[in-house]
Amino acid sequence: MASTEDDGDRLLRDYANGFMVSQVLFAACELGVFDLLAEAPGPLSAAEVAAGLGASARGTELLLEACVALRLLRLDTRGGRALYASTLLSRRHLVSSSPTSQHHMLLYLARTTYLCWGHLAQAVRDGKNQYMKAFGVPSEDVFAAIYRSDAERLLFMRGLQGVWRVHGQHVLAAFDLSPFPVVCDLGGCSGALAREYASLYPACRVTVFDIPEVVRTARTHFPVPEEEKERISFHEGDFFTDPLPEADLYVLARVLHDWSHEKCVQLLARVQQACRPGGALLVIESLLDADGRGPLTTQLYSLNMLVQTEGQERTPGQYRELLAAAGFTDVECRRTGRPYDAVLARK
């Protein structure tokens, strides 16, 4: 009697093969498949795509077919030939020139994050990140490891900015931040979130605070448009040791998840001291459920923090505890239904 595969077998197979799905997406980005098809005047055959990419006909056809099965591309067989075309998803988020492109984040995941995850078991044994195993670099200073070359720093900064073009305004609208006209985005990187902030709250001014090499890279590669220069500026410094610029509202977006409990307490105490009475701090992070047992994406992000940083994702209760320990009051957590959530705390 023929027996069908049971749910457990199917689940196990899907999990075991999950990395292959990631690699299809990464390889198609790396090779420029989505850019080529978006720029073509119409759908292309596998041979035309292979010629355009300078890749093998056999490999290209297999990759294109997998992209179609994953709904990253569309197959057009109307003329009796297999032709491949972009989808709305690929035009919006995979074409490198799209304003909402995730292309650079996917390259970062492929070239860095994936290699760190290759040492997940060791990271669990050691309880620490795996830059030494993955790249042969020490990580006592975790951002020295993350920014181990100019190219790596630029790719990290390009990768990180993509998410704010898609989700930035939603997360910044979780609270009415208009009462805070002077804003300082601590660890603000390329200034991507600052730009979304300035566009959502036209009366505000935002200072992006980050370490000197990040600010220098931002000034060179992510210049603020002339018409926004009055409202968005950069400030070099170390948020653990240097004076923080004055502001009505401080923002820490995807910063606390990089650090241990002790370093979070240290950083938050500095922010609380710098904050004016009546001022506030906005923490933007992916929140775990109250019991820490979901959502799965945030649990995976937390493991990602294990392999890449000194930190972890946290529950609303854990953020409340950290913020209260630093002297903040009236802590409110709001979920956005998107990858990142918002926590507002007042002084």
Ligand X SMILES: C[S@@+](CC[C@H](N)C(=O)[O-])C[C@H]1O[C@@H](n2cnc3c(N)ncnc32)[C@H](O)[C@@H]1O
Tell me the catalytic residues: 257
| CA dist., res. 215 & res. 218, Å (int) | 5
Q: What does the DSSP 8-state code read for residue 243?
A: P
- Asked if residues 171 and 340 have their Cβ atoms less than 8 Å apart, the reply is yes
Q: Which is nearer to ligand X, 35 or 210 (CB)?
A: 210
Q: Is the peptide bond before 295 cis (omega within 30 degrees of 0)?
A: yes
Choose between 69 and 300: whose C-beta lies nearer to ligand X: 300
* Residue sitting closest to ligand X (CB): 187
Q: How far is the CB of 271 from ligand X (least distance, A)?
A: 12
Tokens of 148: 């181990």
Minimum CB distance to ligand X smaller for 167 or for 205: 167
Nearest distance in Å: CB 67, ligand X = 28
Nearer to ligand X, 238 or 330 (CB): 238
Residue (of 181, 200, 310) closest to 246 by Cα position: 181
State which residue, 231 or 254, has the beta carbon closest to ligand X: 254
Q: Which residues form the interface with ligand X (CB under 6 A)? A: 143, 160, 187-189, 193, 210-211, 214, 238-240, 253-255, 258
Minimum separation from the CB atom of position 231 to ligand X (A): 18
Give the distance from CA 154 to its chain's centroid. 14
Q: Give me the least distance between CB of 9 and ligand X, in Å please.
A: 38
For residue 69, the minimal CB distance to ligand X (Å) is 32
91: closest CA among 8, 34, 172?
A: 34
Nearest to 235 by CA among 206, 217, 215: 215
Assigned token pair, 106: 């996917």
Q: Round to whole Å and give the CA distance between 123 and 309.
A: 11
Q: What share of the chain is helix, strand, coil (3-state, %, to 5)?
A: 50, 15, 35
Residues 6+ apart with CB under 8 A from 125: none
Q: In what order do the strands lie in the sheet with 341-346?
A: 232-236, 205-210, 182-186, 249-253, 280-285, 341-346, 329-334
Terminal alpha carbon distance of the chain:
70
CB count in 10 Å sphere of residue 230: 10
User: Between residues 210 and 248, which has the closer beta carbon with respect to ligand X?
Assistant: 210
Taking the complex as a whole, the smallest distance from the CB of residue 311 to ligand X amounts, in Å, to 9
